[in-house]
Amino acid sequence: MKKALLGAAFLLLFFLLQSTVFKYFAISNIGPNLLIIITCAFGFMYSDREGLFMGFFAGLLCDIFFGPILGINALIYMFIGFVNGKFNRLFYSEDFILPGSLFLSSNICYGLVYYILIFLLRGRFQFTYYLMNIILPESIYTLVCAIAFYPLLLICVNALKKSEQRRP
């Protein structure tokens, strides 16, 4: 129950930050994808199931408020959360290399799949433009934000895990 409340609180916080505050810090009209951070983190910190659920709700929020088609983002985020959950056995909280590489690769994967489903299927073939001007800058910006937000997530998740272990 506490895990679900923590996840919902972080999801709502990151969604609000992404859709309000970070719009003002956009560089060249590109902002970070904070929902990728929370989806990836819940995936590799807990399991593929938690990553899948976090991804579904993160994507659903994006679809409801900003998406052109309901369900596209939910499907992409679910896939990303599930795949990140498969790295749960390799995750060590002291190491940032695995989380950092997962944040970066997940955001690139999100951008590529989104491009294919939204633009390429409609006949827009400016892939190099989309890659160089949207996917890569957004991925780097997201990685920089992940470096800032990841320790906060880690502290909260570790505190929650310790409180769950103390329960008889």
Question: Model confidence over 63-121: pLDDT tens digits?
Answer: 999 988 899 999 999 999 999 999 988 888 778 899 999 999 999 999 999 999 988 87
Whose CA is closest to 104, among 14, 36, 58? Answer: 36
Helix, strand, or coil (residue 89) = helix
**Mean pLDDT, rounded, for 14-30:** 92
Distance CA 113, CA 53 (A): 19
Mean pLDDT of 132-160: 93
Counted domains in the chain = 1
Reported confidence tier of residue 168, pLDDT bands at 50, 70, 90: low
Average pLDDT over residues 140-151: 94
Asked whether residue 127 is assigned to any structural domain, the reply reads: yes
Enclosing domain of residue 38: 33-162
> Does residue 2 form part of some domain?
no
Task: Please check whether residue 20 lies inside any domain of the structure.
Answer: no
Q: For the residues of 14-55, what is the DSSP string, one character each?
A: HHHHHHTGGGTT-BTTB---HHHHHHHHHHHHT-HHHHHHHH
